Structure 1
Amino acid sequence: MRLSTVILPIHRWSEGQKIWQRAEELGFHAAYTYDHLTWRSFQDDPWFGAVPTLTAAACATERLRLGTLVTSPNFRHPVTLAKELMTLDDISQGRITVGIGVGGTGFDATAFGQEPWGARERADRFDEFLPLLDKLLTQEATTEEGRFYSAVEARGIPGCVQEPRVPFYVAATGPRGLKLAAEYGQGWVTYGDPRGPGDVPVNQAPAVIEAQLAKLQAACAAQGRDAADLNKVLLQGSTAEKPLASLDAFVEWAGTYRDLGIDELVVHWPVPDSIFENDLAVFERIATEGLAQLG
């Protein structure tokens, strides 16, 4: 099992750089950031762009894997995103992971002035977005006309450092998203029950993940693929569970999900006076000692 973190892009780089470097010092497997224009309770606070932040983090670290968790069609077009990801992969010398999903319905989802996309349209768009992004990152030139996204002689030279391309970690819980994860993903991401922390009792949260894993296995089988080939990622913070309250709480939580088949846990770097407020000293102890105590 691996332990990673999410560092929100809320700090000026003079301070943010220290956090990304500290994440590497603590031994986290990866550090991700949200690809939003802003996010929920942070909408009136500082919030910086994901790709520039990851570029700076790539230059400030040496070993830490870096990535989005997650990017989506809400703010991106496959042609420009592919170019940015290829560049990030080069700057980081092959340390980029692309967490990617259909996107949500938060207020920043309509920042371009469009009408809100319903669940079906988001899924329809993702059905085009992900296969086209795959082609753009693996071909020297791509031409394709779609209902939502097109490319005309879009160049992908020199290609990614990682072969055949940067890994896709697909965030999905529904049948269409799980099919895409099975077909294109090197990893799969869940944050638990999509209904939110107030709707699922703590003691029922593991059963939600167990059911999702079973659906992922079925989707992989339908594609003739072994689900064991996908890295299975659980993003903490969207359930009523409190694994960062203490080292013992983390060990119990991590052991539960390891036994279910989760390969990578992702915890949020503490943010004072927010929903991600946690004791930094406890958090750092979890980072350095937590997995070792699983046995």
Structure 2
Amino acid sequence: MSIVSYDRLTPHQQQLVHRLLPPTRSVLREISGPACQYGRHHWTLLENDIPVATIGLACRNKENRTEVHLLNSSYSKMAAFKKLALHVHRKALSLHPDAIHVHISPPRDNGFISVWASIGYTSTSEEFRIIGTVEDRPPTLTFKSVSDRERHLFLSLRNDAMRQIDKSYQLTLHDFIRMSELKSFPCLVYDGALPIGTLIWRREFGSIVLDEITRAPAYEGHGYGPRILDSFFHKIHHLQSRSFSTSCLSTNRNALALYDQQFVSDIQHTSSWYTFRPQISR
């Protein structure tokens, strides 16, 4: 068995890694670029030159803290995955992070859970996919596509709003460009002439996926969350779409409160987050 960086794999081996990975529902998780000097990495364990386990790592700076996210993990052999998990965990520790978060999907995969728990990771939050029907509601806000000149305004509003959100990260100009390549639609949200937030959405198999809503911290308590959602429903209703989905963490109470039960048709538990805190483990 050998552990190899993804960029050193042959094109055929890279294809096998993508087959090993389950399809993701989160565009943002796919495009998140380097937000600290260590950037992103992905390792694969090979057995007889065939990928049998794979784990990705992204290092991010947030509020003067360094956090590592372990993402896009999969395996076909448990012993290989355990060996790779220990290798990637040591790589993560070498970055001296304040916390290491691992994303587990599917959420009840006992193989994933047992391996990370044996290293010292504990459950910290759950992620849910909310599916609902679209109702035409009176719009009180307007959405504007982001022009080249407005990219920095969009990133500033969005990143400022996300600083206190659990498991969130800062988007870069590189991420913004990648969003358009992946057919996502970033928008600025206006109350009259005042920009108060951002929104990112996309089409997926005839439905609408709402990747993210943000509201500038300065306008907390002004009731903008429901108004953004109602105005968005009006917009996509006139695009002839009758259903939408979004993802939300169990720790994001404000976001969960937005989606009242009147238009929610299904809630799916899609993944879990486990966390290792080095300062506690020393």
TM-score if structure 2 supplies the norm length?
0.31
More strand by share: 2
More helix by share: 1
RCO comparison, higher one (Cα < 8 Å, 6+): 2
Higher Cα Rg: structure 1 or 2?
Answer: 2
